[in-house]
């Protein structure tokens, strides 16, 4: 355990808090005079979740930069850092699917594709590391992370602004969803291509 890995674990704790608070901001209640389901959201909680998400996402580069600067790059760090990224984005997107206004813009199958890509890349990274081959994130993967983070942040803002007109913001978020899907599939294919030498080994 070194300083960069400690920072990564700190990001994991912030991620857990973000997911928990975002989930808590959704409070379904039954109206006493009927059977209609009323969705009441504690908007301050959604804004808190957004703040935590931005902290976790924007500090993503800190642990990697520090590890390189201090010459403390480790196999644990190469696995732990992308793991935290995956938990952050996938966890937030899964919770966001609870909100009807998000369901209009984020199809469930898109989230399934995003998660499937993460499982695939994690498996490839684990295979590479067991054979002593570094398998760090490349630029395409980092671009994917940026697209996912921006899109998730926009969707959280829509949740937090439930009583306001989100038409323009929703359009931008929808574009972000499809951009994220393209970047996710493209980066996944890139990692599979990069792992070809590993597949060729006995």
pLDDT one digit per residue (tens) for the chain, 202 residues: 677 788 889 899 999 999 999 998 886 544 444 544 555 545 788 999 999 999 999 888 777 777 777 777 776 667 788 888 899 999 999 999 998 889 889 999 999 999 999 999 888 877 877 777 667 667 777 888 899 999 999 999 998 887 677 788 889 999 999 999 999 999 889 888 887 777 666 6
**C-alpha–C-alpha distance, residues 122 and 82, integer Å:** 9
Fold for domain 3-200?
1.20.120
Query: Are 125 and 171 spatial neighbours (Cβ–Cβ below 8 Å)?
Result: no
**C-alpha–C-alpha distance, residues 136 and 75, integer Å:** 10
Query: For residue 140, what are the contacts with CB-CB under 8 A and spacing of at least 6?
Result: 183, 186, 187, 190
Collapse the DSSP code of 133 into the 3-class scheme (helix H, G, I; strand E, B; otherwise coil) and give the result: coil
Question: What is the radius of gyration, based on Cα positions, of the chain?
Answer: 19
Q: How many other CB atoms are there within 10 angstroms of residue 186's CB atom?
A: 15
Q: For position 134, what pLDDT does the model report?
A: 67
Q: For position 35, what pLDDT does the model report?
A: 47
């Amino acid at each position: 355990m070194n300083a960069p890995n400690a920072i990564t674990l700190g990001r994991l704790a912030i991620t857990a808090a973000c997911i928990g608070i975002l989930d808590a901001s959704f409070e379904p209640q039954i109206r006493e005079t009927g059977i209609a389901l009323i969705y009441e959201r504690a908007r301050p909680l959604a804004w808190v979740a957004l703040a935590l998400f931005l902290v976790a996402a924007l500090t993503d580069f800190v642990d990697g930069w520090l590890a390189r600067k201090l010459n403390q790059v480790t196999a644990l760090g190469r696995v732990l850092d992308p793991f935290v990224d995956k938990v952050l984005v996938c966890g937030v997107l899964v919770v966001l699917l609870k909100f009807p206004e998000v369901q209009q813009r984020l199809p469930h199958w898109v989230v399934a594709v995003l998660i499937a890509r993460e499982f695939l890349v994690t498996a490839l990274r684990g295979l590479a590391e067991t054979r002593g081959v570094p398998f760090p994130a490349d630029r395409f993967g980092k671009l994917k992370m940026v697209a996912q983070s921006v899109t998730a942040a926009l969707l959280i803002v829509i949740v937090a602004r439930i009583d306001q007109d989100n038409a323009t913001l929703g359009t931008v978020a929808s574009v972000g969803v499809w951009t994220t899907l393209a970047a996710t599939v493209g980066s996944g294919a890139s990692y599979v291509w990069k792992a070809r030498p590993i597949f060729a080994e006995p």
